[in-house]
Structures are given as C-alpha cells and as structure tokens.
Amino acid sequence: MELVNLHPLGCSWHWSVSGISIAMIMLALILFGKSFGLSSTYRTLCTISGAGKTSPFFRFDWKAQLWNLYFASGIIAGGFLAKHFLSAGQTIVINPETQSFLFELGLIDQTGVNRQYPLLPPILFNPELTELPRAIFLITIGGLLSGFGSRYAGGCTSGHFISGLSNLQIPSLITLIFFMLGGILSTNFLLPFLLACL
C-alpha cells in the first residue's frame, strides 16, 4: 500500500512548516486586534459554566472572548481534517533512548510507537477496562495541574512560549524555564513513579 504515501500532505510535516504556520497565525491574530493564547479559553469556559459566582476572577465579558472559542473550534476541525483527509498511515519514529525509556515504563512495545496510535499511548488514552482507573487518574491530575498552572502563570505554551517570547517578554522567559523544569521532573521522575505505584 505504498500509494497512500504519495500525497505530499499525507506524511509528517517538517517542524519548520509548523513553526512558521504558528507564527503566522499569531501575527494574523495580532493584526485582527486579538492575541494568541489558548489557555484563556479555559477561563472563558469556566465563566460560561457559571464560575463567576465563585470568584470575581471569572466575572468578565466572556462574549468578547468568544472569538477564541471559535479559534479553538477551528483547531478541533483541523484535528478532524488531519485524521480523515490527511492521514496516510503516519508513524512516528522517536529517539531510541526515549523509546527504550517508554518501553521500560510499559507505555510502548519494543518495536516502537504503535502504528495505530501514533499520537498518544493507548495504555493511557485508549485503555482496556482494567487499566481505566489508572489512566483516568493520571490524565485528571495532568489536566488539573496544567489548567491551574497556566492560569497562575498567565498563559500556556502558545501565550508565553510563542506570543510572549516573540514580544521579548522577560516574564515569559522566566515562565518557560519553569515550564521546562516542571516537564523534566514530570517525564523523568513523576511519570515513572506514578506508573510504578498505580
């Protein structure tokens, strides 16, 4: 079935294609008087769900932020398109060191990343019933921390790493150093620890 890979958009894209596209999106948003940052949508979703009753932090004009939710729906649509129209048996080849690290944790097979699940390890994101509680626990912890931390720091990867750094913001530089420290700790120590305990 070599045919499927002939489509130029079907294979994985080079990192620079993605990087430049992301920057173009950010600049386009700036030209429309908006700013690029996706964790803000979580705050908007809180407000829409009635969080204004619990904290003044959520009492703001969420309608002015609706565009960002539309933007997020665009990303959802993009994910859908990638799956149904641009996927051609995409596999991910990762560094052998990472591969053996993840194999030892039981997250991938010895042969590498599962072809069927090129994006997320099935044991966490498509688990058997017996593995479900552990998966739910890990994902919930991860989600809670990322939601809490991004608002505490005033932005996530898009807001600080991309927008902030492009605007030469020192706070963003501080934040991303700590993003990296948190991530390094999490991947190398917390994840193995939690997987061993659960």
Partner 1 sequence: MIKSEVASWYRWQEMFRFESFHIFGIILSAVAVGTTGIAIIKKLRIRDVYGKAIVIPDKAKSFYRYAFGGFIFGIGWALAGCPGVHYALAGFGQYMILLALFSAVMGTWIYGALRTKLPH
Q: Residue from 82, 89, 109, 115 that binds partner 1 (CB under 8 A)?
A: 82
Q: Residue from 70, 89, 102, 109 that binds partner 1 (CB under 8 A)?
A: 102
CB 1, min distance to partner 1, A: 20
Q: How far apart are CA 195 and CA 198, in angstroms?
A: 5
Q: How far apart are CA 9 and CA 170, in angstroms?
A: 37
Q: What per-residue string of b and e applies to 141-161 under the rule 16 or more CB within 10 Å gives b? A: eeeeeebeebbebebbbbbbb
| Residue closer to partner 1 (CB basis): 65 or 86 | 86
Q: How far apart are CA 109 and CA 179, in angstroms?
A: 29
Footprint on residues 117-136 left by partner 1 (CB under 8 A):
118-121, 124-127, 135-136
Footprint on residues 136-155 left by partner 1 (CB under 8 A):
136, 138-155
Footprint on residues 178-197 left by partner 1 (CB under 8 A):
178-188, 190-191
Q: Does residue 46 touch partner 1 according to CB under 8 A?
A: yes
Cβ–Cβ under 8 Å, residues 10 and 88: yes
